[in-house]
Amino acid sequence: MTQIKNICCIGAGYVGGPTMAVIAQKAPGIKVTVVDINEKRIAAWNDADLSKLPVYEPGLDAVVGEARGRNLFFSTQVDEAIAEADMIFISVNTPTKTYGIGKGMAADLKWIELCARQIARVSTTDKIVVEKSTLPVRTAEALKSILENTGNGVKFQILSNPEFLAEGTAVEDLHAPDRVLIGGDPDTEEGKAAIQALVDVYAHWVPQENILTTNVWSSELSKLTANAFLAQRVSSINALSELCEKTGADVNEVAKAIGQDSRIGPKFLKASVGFGGSCFQKDILNLVYIAQSFGLKEVADYWEQVIIMNDHQKRRFAENIVRTLYNTVSGKKIAMLGWAFKKDTNDTRESAAIYVADYLLNERAEVVVYDPKVSKEQILADLDYLGTRSEAENRDLITVVNSAYEATEEAHAVAVMTEWDEFVALDWDQIYNAMLKPAFLFDGRRLLDKEALKAKGFEFYAIGS
């Protein structure tokens, strides 16, 4: 029986940080060291002020506060942490490739391979290596090949343990996961022992029936599939939101009516300005690429449609703003409330707000943004990354302010981009009075009470009604 005493996690990001914090919290007998090459990020994880952690997640400060310094450590000493660990999680980024073969579709596994080579170089004792990052099916084969051929004769077992947490509810999801998935090699004694060792780590707090074990390939593919299914539901309801707008049906009522069918279920049927986040688009593109590489054209086309629909939804929201404002937003002040890709996170990766802002800036609008958790630097970096215009132009055209009231003052229109609770509680009379008239309000999240806001005088447009 292998009992894990020392865990190293490479990658202190949105997944590595919270996941390891919860393992350390729930298994105080295991030393957990989270390492990263990003010194600023590690310094933030070590900040005495827990409100400065690099990842904002409700409840995370308390978890880190409980375990940090006891059995949870954040460090830039990658080699040392690898050397002393029995189990190494790889939780580094796997973004869509931006160059070469598979550009714009395949996952870039550069950082994964670098980790594997580093583990192989540093290790002098046997290790269990766990894929925590989301990876294309059969990546474990490549990892095995690197570890076994460049190592020091050390034995490695490779497990797949994809993470299903959603941002904004990461701590909740980690404390009570619907399931933990562990893929390994059930055909050898060493493989079985490695699977059991990881099961035992989670068994500190996850009921046995929620811990699923499979072969490695099923585990790797299940992660991509889960995200594809979830995103597909959002694109399906968003496709119907457009039809609702044409027919007088209301997408919330349709979602409720179909979601009450226990075979369909009520979750992930909220129409929106389009899904964002670092995972959905990247993982579906990866799935499409894998299907294409096996020559499965119809399979690839089927899943690609989920992305096509999502791009359409973001674009048509922006187009509707321009069309409604008498076909021009040039020189008009548009207040965007929210920049994060969903509420309760400071993450902005692939947020619909970025694309809507870019569209409005192309139409020469003066865009003013307020988000309770996203910094001005991040908003500018997101726009710069698109490369649509120069950094100087972005800084000229967009303003970031510290409150919703400041953003909406003398605005021609307000666009709700993220469903932050505080937007519901705003004094909408005050906002109405301070805006130019007609006061246009575009709700990209179905967050606000349409009838109440219309009664206050707003020209109100909501997705799907």
Q: Write the binding mask 163 to 202 for ligand NAD: x where contact by CB under 6 A, - elsewhere.
A: x-x-x-----------------------------------
Helix (H) or strand (E) holding 44: helix 39-45
Contact 122, 151 (CB under 8 A): no
Q: Does 446 bind ligand UDX (CB under 6 A)?
A: no
Instruction: Determine which residue in the list 31, 270, 332, 333 makes contact with ligand UDX, applying CB under 6 A.
Output: 270
Tokens of residue 423, six digits? 């937007």
CA neighbor of 359 nearest in space, from 311, 399, 404: 311
Residues 83-112 that bind ligand NAD (CB under 6 A): 91-94, 111
Least distance from C-beta 428 to ligand UDX, angstroms? 22
The whole-angstrom separation of Cα 465 and Cα 93 is: 38
Least distance from C-beta 131 to ligand NAD, angstroms? 9
- Give me the amino acid identity at 438: P
Tokens of residue 55, six digits? 């990842």
Residues 112-141 that bind ligand NAD (CB under 6 A): 114-115, 133-134
449 alpha carbon, distance to own chain's centre: 28
393 alpha carbon, distance to own chain's centre: 28
C-alpha separations of 411 from 395, 405, 460 in Å: 19, 10, 14
Residues 336-365 that bind ligand UDX (CB under 6 A): 341-342
User: Residue written as tokens 């906002």?
Assistant: 431
The whole-angstrom separation of Cα 401 and Cα 295 is: 49
Contact 185, 171 (CB under 8 A): no
Contact 107, 76 (CB under 8 A): no
Stretch touching ligand UDX by CB under 6 A, among 275-283, 318-326, 354-362, 428-436: 275-283
Buried b (16+ CB within 10 A) or exposed e, 55-66: bbbeebbebbee
Tokens of residue 426, six digits? 């705003």
Q: Write the binding mask 145 to 164 for ligand NAD: x where contact by CB under 6 A, - elsewhere.
A: ------------------x-
Residue 115 annotated in active site:
no
How many residues bind ligand UDX, per CB under 6 A?
A: 19
The whole-angstrom separation of Cα 389 and Cα 136 is: 33
Contacted by 270, from ligand UDX, ligand NAD, none: CB < 5 to 8 Å by type: ligand UDX
Q: Does 279 bind ligand NAD (CB under 6 A)?
A: yes
Residues 146-175 that bind ligand UDX (CB under 6 A): 163-167
Q: Does 38 bind ligand NAD (CB under 6 A)?
A: yes
Least distance from C-beta 246 to ligand NAD, angstroms? 34
CA neighbor of 166 nearest in space, from 15, 346, 382, 51: 15
Rg of the chain taking only CA atoms, in angstroms = 24
Q: Does 41 bind ligand NAD (CB under 6 A)?
A: yes
Contacted by 342, from ligand UDX, ligand NAD, none: CB < 5 to 8 Å by type: ligand UDX
Q: Does 230 bind ligand UDX (CB under 6 A)?
A: yes
Q: Which is nearer to ligand UDX, 289 or 341 (CB)?
A: 341
275 is in an annotated binding site: yes
Instruction: Determine which residue in the list 227, 281, 286, 346 makes contact with ligand UDX, applying CB under 6 A.
Output: 227
Give me the residues that bind ligand UDX (CB under 6 A), please: 163-167, 227, 230, 234, 268-270, 272, 275-277, 279-280, 341-342
Give me the residues that bind ligand NAD (CB under 6 A), please: 10-16, 35-38, 41, 78, 91-94, 111, 114-115, 133-134, 163, 165, 167, 278-279
- For the annotated catalytic residues, the residue numbers are 279
